[in-house]
Amino acid sequence: MLQLPLVVTAQVDLLLVLVSLLAFWTRLSHLNYPNAVVFDEVYYGQFVSLYMKRVFFIDDSGPPLGHMILASGAYLGGFDGNFVWNRIGAEYPSTVNVWSLRLLPALCGALCVPLVYLLTLELKFSHLSALGAAVLLLLENSLIVQSRFMLLESVLIFFVLLAFFSYLRFHNAPSSSWSRYSWLILSGVSCGAAVGVKYMGLFSYLLLLVVASLHTWKLIGDKTISHMNVCVQSVHRVLCLVVVPVLLYVFWFYVHLSFLNRSGPHDQLMSSAFQASLQGGLSRITRGQPLEVAYGSQVTLRSSVSQPIPCWLHSHKVNYPIRYDNGRGSSHQQQVTCYPFKDVNNWWIIKDPGRQQLVVDTPPRPVRHGDVIQLVHGMTSRFLNSHDVAAPMSPHTQEVSGYIDFNVSMPAQNLWRVDISNREAESEVWKTILSEVRLIHVNTSAVLKLSGVSLPDWGFRQLEVVADKLFKAHSSSLEWTVEEHRYGTSQEQKEREAELHSPTHIDVDRKISFWAKFVELQWKMLTVKQEESEHKYSSSPLEWITMETNIAYWLHSSTNAQIHLIGNPVSWGVANLSLLAYQLLAVVYLLRRRRGLKDVPDGVWDQFVCLGCVCVGGWLVNFVPFLLMDKTLFLYHYLPALCYLYLLSPALLEHAHTHLLSSVTHQRALCVGALAVLLSIFLTYRTFCPLTYGSPELSAHQLQGLKWRDTWDILYRRR
Amino acid sequence: MAKAECTPKWNTLALRNRKTCPTPEKSFQTTFTPVSKDKNSQTAGHLAGGDTQSSNGPSGQFLARESIESPSKVLLMLVAGLSFSTRLYMITEPPHVCWDETHFGKMGSYYINRTFFFDVHPPLGKMLIGLAGYMSGYDGTFPFIKPGDKYENQNYWGMRGFCATLGSFLPIFAYLIVLELSNSCTAAIIAATLLIFDTGCITISQYILLDPILMFFIMAAVLSMVKFNQQRYRSFSASWWLWLVLTGINLAGALGVKFVGLFVIILVGLNTIWDLWRLLGDMSLSLVDIAKHFLARAFALILLPVILYVTIFAVHFVVLNKSGPGDGFFSSAFQSRLIGNNLHNASMPEYLAFGSTVTIKNLRIAGGYLHSHWHLYPEGVGARQQQVTAYLHKDYNNLWVVHRQQDNNSQSGNPDLVRHGDIVRLEHKETTRNLHSHLHEAPLTKKHFQVTGYGINGTGDANDLWQVEVCGGRKGDPVKVLRSKVRFLHRATGCVLYSSGKTLPKWGWEQIEVTCSPYLKETPSSQWNIEDHINPKLPNISLSVLKPNFLEILLESHIVMFRGNSGLKPKDNEMNSKPWHWPINYQGLRFSGVNATEYRVYLLGNPVVWWINLASLGLYLTMVAVASIATQRGFSLGQQRIGGGLLMLGWLLHYAPFFTMGRILYFHHYFPAMLFSSMLTGLTLDILFRSADLLLHPPYSYWFQRAGQLLLLFSILYSFYLFHPLSYGMTGPLAHEPGSAMADLKWMDSWEF
């Protein structure tokens, strides 16, 4: 039965609504100004374009969710991916919908403000403190700048705050309600999203896990709850906070890999099997190649290492110099190198040592693990050879050459044993692309290897190939895969050269599983080392605390209008002060409690500890790791840590107000002080607005006036 | 065998005298709260081996210390005997320089010759090596040029024997530490056995290296700390003071050998903080008492080690008073202390003049000389002109000639002095290029401009002009050699010549970057002094350079050491050892010999020992987790407390920091952590064997315990028998070749013996 009257009661927190509206206004107004590429948009933009074109790429700066969010903004705006992001300041054409590109990060940035409000309430502080925290965030110029462009920090901060908010919501809810588990799941999902946007999210995620395990530990110690109940609750938490984020993380990669199925600029970093799974690129060449390598096969051999660059076993009609610069002698035989480009000289023919012919029998006789073969260079017909002559650049290893008989009692040693290192059976057949093979020199049992050094000018700066006796077990520099492959049909040298020049084309698909692709991509992302060099605006972590440096994001091409990443110096100072104050207070409280003097009741103490765990802990985990990092760092890396401090400041003020100050006059003085600080925060926000929003344009003199610190770089145009 | 005798004896003895002395609780232990008595007495039976009449609750830990001593003394002698015999056996083999002996032996010789040198480690270890060499009759003449050099008739056995002796103390200390922590002979003997028969520990103790000395001090510090913890109920007694002071002394020793000693200082520091925290909570102590405790610890653990550490450096500087290979790393003032250095009682023209040939040294500590050479900046790094760097060693390429803006070389009479505000052109003597800067990004510090060598034979352009500025001087002041701090301001761009302290990549020969900084703040990085000054037209005057005081020297040498340490970056092609390789014994270090015919020594841990250690770490964590969850839920296991927390922390502190280090790492860095890990294994396995009666009934559990101990002993001994050639040397074909005696022992493909 319907119960009448039908009543809807709603409570609306007007303060919350107000700050949210203000947040939307500060973050979203004039979003498409400037209509030009701003700072790191140039970096993220290229990936957005690749997403639109569904072209595969690797970005070692973070997992794919961040790029996907930016790309979905572009998708909504109907961006077709046809824009080259090549320099900061380049104007966007009218075909690019700048507003939609920047919309999602700005939305996330705006939502952070009400989230901070709610989070303070969940930390059990008053609405006034919540308002204070929200205002601090609202008027922070650096956060506004970072949210208004196609950048990922605001998205990261949003998910981190959401994770903490929903976790605390779960924790504070009465244990009888089942709906609280939806908050726990939301927390897990946000954690997965935060880590998926940037690896930096991992720090906050770990902190949340620590907080959650402390709470669980208390739960385990609660003897009023039955064993069964404790088990069930613990398992729930593990499921929601560990399993869900991990699954989500993998899921981002699943979406990423299933979206990006075309070959692109980063293909060469991946293994042959991975490349073959992408449309175009290698799969176009290798499609339909015979799978089993047979005697008479024509192959190109790719080294498994992609450091410094991927390359193929190569030879050419030039000999090693008789004497090297340092006076050592060589065999003066034909050079064998590793060459990083496709070339007809990369073709080798697999020959049975017992027979003369260089064509494949019908039916083909496959080469198996353990077989002894000779390798004939396709264009010059020299045999791959090694002998006890020191290699040109790595003299502790053996030289590898194309054998020429100079009649100097240096016999040919051109037998190689095939050792398939990823074999499953002892007599496994050598497979194109899939098998990783070591070529072991039969006479000296040295292994064919890429030394990683490039040859000097006489070797055309190609990479040195050597045979090494003392080899490490699992070094990928020893392994080679057959990439291009066809069955040779021509016995005559001339015919064969023509055949080698012709492209290989036939049709079959090679699939590798998602997990293999995931593991490979993840591993590559973590190990690809980009050249670390200092950026003009990079800074060291210790400079962040005092905001020694700024970052110039954009400068108008003809006027002085410009956008800088500069924080609000007053809020920055408030944040640092509250951090110090909390630590001092905590030490004093702890020492006094240890001596049995309880300054505050236990409930308040718990609240104080919880505040410290989340806020000071959050600052620590988001700041200290950077001190140990060897990377190029920027001021914006500090923003997540800063948000935690903004959460801390008003709460600490409230704590001082209610529990430290006893006399009414002191309390009033504190309130007045706080108001004064808020006012000055607002004024500084207004002062720096032109540098935050890029308009109005300021004169050189006014810009000089904004240079509050000598170390800030503010640009003036010379008239 | 010894173990089998030990346990029953002390158990019965313990019961008889169990009221004599309480075993105080130890810090960092997992606490097991005793609960209801009847529950406890059921499960506590296994506490003392086969004895079911055991106590309940805390009284289970009552134990007679005097009564353990007789069997433990016998065992201690046994441990000592085995330890010394394994370490000193074949100490003189191989009779040539092995691995890093080339460094530390050489540095020992420097002490004997009193020659100044530079090393990234503090001096105590090398001083002791030098002393040992001196006492055993080594005269310091052997050059230690490279590994493999034959010692011939030199007395090198003294230095090796000294290191081996210190290394022999490690198992003894381990035995004593574990005994203190657990009160169980079995645990102690397991820990000692693991270390005695570990080939890695033997090998690393047998050569002239810093590691045995470092580990000696680390273990001694831990032992004194543990002993000090035992004295907790006898505050301010003589023995309390003794162990406290000993801890401090050993800390200073550890830090004085290598900076890795810092980790044990942190361990002791944490332990002390914990201890003070406990005292603070003890309401029977007044605040004055607590202040006394605090001051005593501050004196013995902070003040005393600092004094000792500084003393070590004082001795170092007093002993090494002759000029040697390390001079260039230090400031001009420092060098003037060294006999034989050209700045010692220097004599040169006093004021800088035009036409002089000079070397220009950066004032930043370990800043280097302004340097250039016949190499260009590579493509893509600014303009392709000649490199200008800062270089720490003395070299012809450090020489520069001071010219006027428009040079009229044919100057007669006394040359003009260079004065504050003068415009000069600095010409590199060797390559005749001018010091030049322009608006290109510097190679590493992108905010600065590039500095190059430009022009030839003195002809260049307007970008070659620099204005000389004496810091704190006025227009017209002359530039004093050695004493004036000079800045060079670039005329065209207004930037200042700057040494950033960053190491250039390979193309720059790993020298230090020199830039032109647009930030004009006066810092030592942008200040230079004139060091050598040659001008035949001016009279030489004897200069007494301001001698630096001791604290300045101390600070300077530390900064130089830290720079040197962080400068040890792995080379591109070098096989680099990763920290995760270490606990699994993934790869060793070749100490001597490469070929089949040579006498080979390979530093590799006894795999059985190391893998047992690895498993025990996991086992320990599982045991602690299970036990603490059970206690938190209110069950009682009645288990004796495990003293492993301290050891676990020690292991972590000596291992985890390596993951964050950017410098080049070697396998032997793991050995201090391995000591902690072995001691932890002793404790863990002992508890494991004794927990057998949770599952089995008394006679069987007793048999199980014995069987487990015997099996462990046997497997360690047998693996030692198998792997002992790694330490004591092997010849014959390499292990990966068929026919080698070691072929069957190549359990992992990555081992290269």
**Interchain pair A451, B573: CB under 8 A:** yes
**Interchain pair B633, A473: CB under 8 A:** no
Query: Residue A445: its chain B contacts at CB < 8 A?
Result: 737
- Position B64 pLDDT exceeds 60: no
Looking at residue B23, its pLDDT comes to 38
Query: How many angstroms from the chain centroid is the CA of residue A36?
Result: 25
Q: Which run of H or E residues covers position A303?
A: strand A297-303
Tens-digit pLDDT profile for residues A394-419: 888 888 998 888 777 788 888 999 88
**Interchain pair A227, B633: CB under 8 A:** yes
Q: Which residues, 6+ apart, have CB-to-CB distance to B252 below 8 Å?
A: B304, B305, B306, B308, B309, B312
Task: Give the CA dihedral A189, A191, A196, A197, nearest 10 degrees.
Answer: 110
pLDDT band at residue B67 under the 50/70/90 scheme: very low
Tell me which amino acid residue B638 is.
G
Q: How far is B312 from chain A (nearest CA, A)?
A: 30
DSSP string, B511-571: -EEEEEES-----GGG-EEEEEEE-TTS--EE--PPPPPHHHHHHHHHHHHHHHHHH-PPP
Query: Residue A473: its chain B contacts at CB < 8 A?
Result: 748-750
DSSP string, B311-345: HHHHHHHHH--B--TTGGGS-HHHHTTSBTSTTTT
**Interchain pair A628, B660: CB under 8 A:** yes
Instruction: Tell me the residues of chain A between 134 and 153 that have a Cβ less than 8 Å away from chain B.
Output: none
pLDDT band at residue B256 under the 50/70/90 scheme: very high
Tell me which amino acid residue A258 is.
S
* Choice among A123-132, A532-541, A585-594 with the minimum mean pLDDT: A532-541
Length of chain B: 753
Residues B581 and B728 sit within 8 Å (Cβ to Cβ): no
Q: Which residues, 6+ apart, have CB-to-CB distance to A666 below 8 Å?
A: none
Q: Which of A233, A453, A533, A551 to mutate to test the interface with B (most CBs of B within 10 A)?
A: A533
Q: How far is A672 from chain B (nearest CA, A)?
A: 39
Segment of A183-192, B485-494, B626-635 carrying the highest mean pLDDT: A183-192
pLDDT band at residue B2 under the 50/70/90 scheme: very low
**Interchain pair B444, A533: CB under 8 A:** yes
Out of B277, B575, B749, the one facing A473 most closely (by C-beta) is: B749
How far is residue A708's CA from residue A192's CA, in Å, rounded to a whole number?
40
Nearest chain A alpha carbon to B737: A445
- Position B20 pLDDT exceeds 90: no
pLDDT band at residue A163 under the 50/70/90 scheme: very high
Tens-digit pLDDT profile for residues A521-579: 888 888 776 655 667 788 889 989 998 888 888 888 888 888 999 999 999 999 999 99
How far is residue B500's CA from residue B619's CA, in Å, rounded to a whole number?
50
The CB-side HSE value for B102 (13 A sphere, CA atoms) comes to 12
For the record, the structure tokens of B553 come out as: 């020297």
**Interchain pair A220, B445: CB under 8 A:** no
Cα distance from N-terminal residue to C-terminal residue, chain B: 32
How far is residue A161's CA from residue A23's CA, in Å, rounded to a whole number?
16
C-alpha distance from residue B188 to each of A252, B388, B666 (Å)? 52, 60, 29
Which of the two residues, A710 and B372, has the higher pLDDT score?
B372
**Which residues of B sit within 8 Å Cβ distance of A?**
277, 280-281, 283, 287, 441, 444-447, 519, 572-573, 575, 587, 629, 632-634, 660, 662, 734, 737, 748-750, 752
How far is residue B602's CA from residue A377's CA, in Å, rounded to a whole number?
41
Which of the two residues, A70 and B15, has the higher pLDDT score?
A70
Backbone angles phi, psi at A65, to 5 degrees: -60, -40
Strand-pair partners of A486: A298
How far is residue A97's CA from residue B302's CA, in Å, rounded to a whole number?
65
Residues B616 and B681 sit within 8 Å (Cβ to Cβ): yes
Q: Which residues, 6+ apart, have CB-to-CB distance to A525 below 8 Å?
A: A58, A59, A60, A63
β B434-441/B496-503 pair status: unpaired
C-beta neighbour count of B474 within 10 angstroms: 9
3-state secondary structure of A382: coil
Tens-digit pLDDT profile for residues A429-440: 888 877 888 888
Residues A398 and A466 sit within 8 Å (Cβ to Cβ): yes
pLDDT band at residue B1 under the 50/70/90 scheme: very low
Out of A227, A534, A630, the one facing B662 most closely (by C-beta) is: A630
Q: How far is B743 from chain A (nearest CA, A)?
A: 14
Average pLDDT estimate for A166-195 = 91
Cα distance from N-terminal residue to C-terminal residue, chain A: 80
Looking at residue A502, its pLDDT comes to 62
% helix / strand / coil in chain B, to the nearest 5?
50, 15, 35
Q: Which of B31, B279, B446 to mutate to test the interface with A (most CBs of A within 10 A)?
A: B446
Helix (DSSP H) and strand (DSSP E) numbers for chain A:
22, 14
Cα–Cα nearest to B506, from B443, B430, B590, B559: B443
* Choice among A170-174, A231-235, A426-430 with the minimum mean pLDDT: A426-430
How far is residue A170's CA from residue A164's CA, in Å, rounded to a whole number?
10
Query: Residue A535: its chain B contacts at CB < 8 A?
Result: 446
Residue where the block lists tokens 């920290």: B579
* Choice among A29-33, A397-401, A430-434, B189-193 with the minimum mean pLDDT: A430-434
How far is residue A415's CA from residue A385's CA, in Å, rounded to a whole number?
8
Looking at residue B27, its pLDDT comes to 38
- Cα three-residue angle A152-A153-A157, rounded to 5 degrees: 120
Out of A223, A445, A595, the one facing B280 most closely (by C-beta) is: A595
Out of A221, A472, A594, the one facing B632 most closely (by C-beta) is: A221
The single-letter DSSP state of residue A613 is: I
Cα–Cα nearest to B651, from B617, B609, B685: B617
- Position B66 pLDDT exceeds 60: no
Burial class (CB in 10 A: 0-12, 13-18, 19+), B651: buried
How far is residue B555's CA from residue B366's CA, in Å, rounded to a whole number?
11
Burial class (CB in 10 A: 0-12, 13-18, 19+), B395: middle
Tell me the Cα Rg of chain A.
33
How far is residue B442's CA from residue B446's CA, in Å, rounded to a whole number?
5
**Interchain pair A221, B749: CB under 8 A:** no
pTM equals 0.76
Average pLDDT estimate for A625-650 = 90
Residue where the block lists tokens 């100004």: A33
Q: Which residues, 6+ apart, have CB-to-CB distance to A486 below 8 Å?
A: A289, A290, A297, A298, A504
Q: Which residues, 6+ apart, have CB-to-CB distance to B355 below 8 Å?
A: B401, B402, B403, B411, B415, B535, B537
- Position A501 pLDDT exceeds 70: no
How far is residue A706's CA from residue A277's CA, in Å, rounded to a whole number?
55
How far is residue B63's CA from residue B79's CA, in Å, rounded to a whole number?
23
Residues A672 and A653 sit within 8 Å (Cβ to Cβ): no
For the record, the structure tokens of A105 come out as: 């990060």
Query: Residue A594: its chain B contacts at CB < 8 A?
Result: 277, 280-281
How far is residue A59's CA from residue A530's CA, in Å, rounded to a whole number?
10
- Chain B contact present for A231, CB below 8 A: no
